[in-house]
Structure 1
Amino acid sequence: MDLILFLSLSLCWCMAAARSLWTDKPWIIVSSAEIEDGETVEVTCTLPIDYRGGDCRLFRDNSPVPFRLKTATGYLCVFYLTSQELLGRQPVGSQIFLKCDYHIQQYTSVSSDVKGVTVWGSSPSPGLSVSRRFVSPDDSVEVTCSPPLNFVHSCHFYRDEIHIADGSCRRNLTGKQLSIWEKSTILLPVNMTCTYHPYEHRYVRSEPSNHNLLFVVDASRASSSVDCKVSVEDDQLAAFGRSSWTNVGADGPTVTVQVTNSVLMPNETCSNIQ
């Protein structure tokens, strides 16, 4: 093949390959996919070329009209949006979808991909109450989350910040549910809280409820009868009512729990363990 022809064909192929790889589509990057109401999110529109003098345009949801413009000074256009600027007329608890493009004179690029940002809202704390303070693994305790609203979509229950149940705001939870993912032990302190979601299709959750201290007592873990002493803070002592509680295992061993007041958080000691 003639050398000049070969070089010409090679140059054409390289130019075609470059055109197939280059795109005028910008990228959109958000600093966080979720923010709380009152926070700010950083949105970056990344341009494929040095586009100084043109406008970066930021769009919200399906609107054909940009709600933010920024003159490009390089390859990046950075927007800082408060939660209220992001939401516009949408209520707190909404998910907002963003995209961007760039425009100069008569030319407008294709739009970027779409990125979603959720603006979480919060509601006042509910109250949490429990029907009993000691429960064996197979028994259940009634837990009630009481929101300060007439109706809520769902309630969520937590053990030491671990989500263990949701749905109805009043439900029965077994000792096994309360101790899930915990190492088996004779006496397990469980610190419970709850939250609620007031709306089905909005991202709004309440502040956490008050804490409620329970104990899962598993007599099957004892090879002989044992006595356990539990110390709780003074302000928790009244909630326990009786100062002692006994659980009988299937094979005869018993676990007797005695509650005393202390400045320490839940601290259990058991004697006669074999």
Structure 2
Amino acid sequence: MAAARSLWSGVLTCPLSADKPSIIVSRREINDGETVTLTCTVPIDYRGGDCRLFRERSRIPFRLMTATDYLCDFQLTSQELLGRRPVGSKIFFKCDYHLQQYTSVSSDVSAVTVRGSSPSPGLSVSRRFLSPDDSVEVTCSPPLRSVSTCHFYRDEIHVAEGPCRRNLTGKQLSIWEESTVLLPVNMTCRYDPHKHLHIRSEPSNHNLLFVVDASRVSSPVDCKVSVDDDQLAVFGDGSWTFAGEDGPTVTLRLTNSGPTSDETCGEVQSETRPA
């Protein structure tokens, strides 16, 4: 180490390839208002020199730090990182270090995305019950004139993106789920207001649907499902009966009374339809 420090007793003018710094990023994506740590690693004993952080293609550093060891930690808020760029941008940066007349080669370029958010859209559905082969029209309504893309979710699982009004089949809504007689589907949507910026809306209101596969039973089934009061108000009182191609039916009753001793659809054994 003493030998390394002695190099700085004179003036260095030739960069050494072995002296190339590197960047460590605490998070590749942050939300607007959050903080990220960018660490410039110094490969030699460089105490007393300056670590310099550059944004985009600028040749002028936007942050300087005197090196006291082998790591220079730059803690930046989202606004400091963005500078004049809008929220939703992906910011590229690099670093080097400088002492007297010596400047190291630059590190590799790295990036941090500053994500933004927009107000929630509204979500509406054309029906509440469907079979695996049926489809439901879902409409995501952003509070903007035009948006880039809409995203649809089932219980936080992304199931579709593209136009804000589209048809989704029961099979699409059942993705990653085992075959079952009754699958509750809690749907939400979001939208991207800009094509070239990383901005996504807050989630929409929830809509409860049921994918009913009567072909999974070999005899009639009468079952009860407990739902929240607000969802029960949407469905209303009553019962719904669904028939498979081979005759057996599934009758569904919704309640807010919680689990009961009655048979529930979740307890029905799924069966493969006879060939």
Matched, 1:203 2:198: yes
> Match of 1:262?
257
Q: Which has the larger radius of gyration?
A: 1
Q: 1:124 aligns with which of 119, 135, 145?
A: 119
1:243 Cα shift? Answer: 2.2
1:236 Cα shift? Answer: 1.1
How do 1:59-98 residues align onto structure 2 when only pairs under 5 Å count?
Answer: 59-98=54-93
> Match of 1:4?
none
How do 1:46-195 residues align onto structure 2 when only pairs under 5 Å count?
Answer: 46-195=41-190
1:40-70 CA-partner distances (Å, limit 9, x unpaired): 0001100111111111100001111110001
Q: Within 2, Cα distance between the matches of 1:125 and 1:262? A: 31
1:198-241 CA-partner distances (Å, limit 9, x unpaired): 00010000111111111100011000111121221111112114
Describe the shift of the 1:268–1:156 C-alpha distance in structure 2 as closer, same or farther (beyond 3 A): farther
> Match of 1:232?
227
Describe the shift of the 1:153–1:86 C-alpha distance in structure 2 as closer, same or farther (beyond 3 A): same
Stretch deviating more after TM superposition (223-232 or 187-196): 223-232
Amino acid at match of 1:132: R
Q: Within 2, Cα distance between the matches of 1:272 and 1:58? A: 62
Q: 2:239 aligns with which of 231, 235, 244?
A: 244
Aligned residues: 252
> Match of 2:37?
42
What value does the CA root-mean-square deviation take over the aligned residues?
1.9
Q: Within 2, Cα distance between the matches of 1:105 and 1:170? A: 62
Contact 2:214 2:248 in 1 (8 A): yes
Q: Within 2, Cα distance between the matches of 1:162 and 1:139? A: 20
Amino acid at match of 2:119: P
> Match of 2:8?
none
* Structure-2-length-normalised TM-score: 0.87
* Structure-1-length-normalised TM-score: 0.88
Identical columns (%): 76
1:109-136 CA-partner distances (Å, limit 9, x unpaired): 0000111100000011111111111110
4+ residue runs over 6 A deviation? 271-274
Unaligned runs of 5+ in 2: 1-15
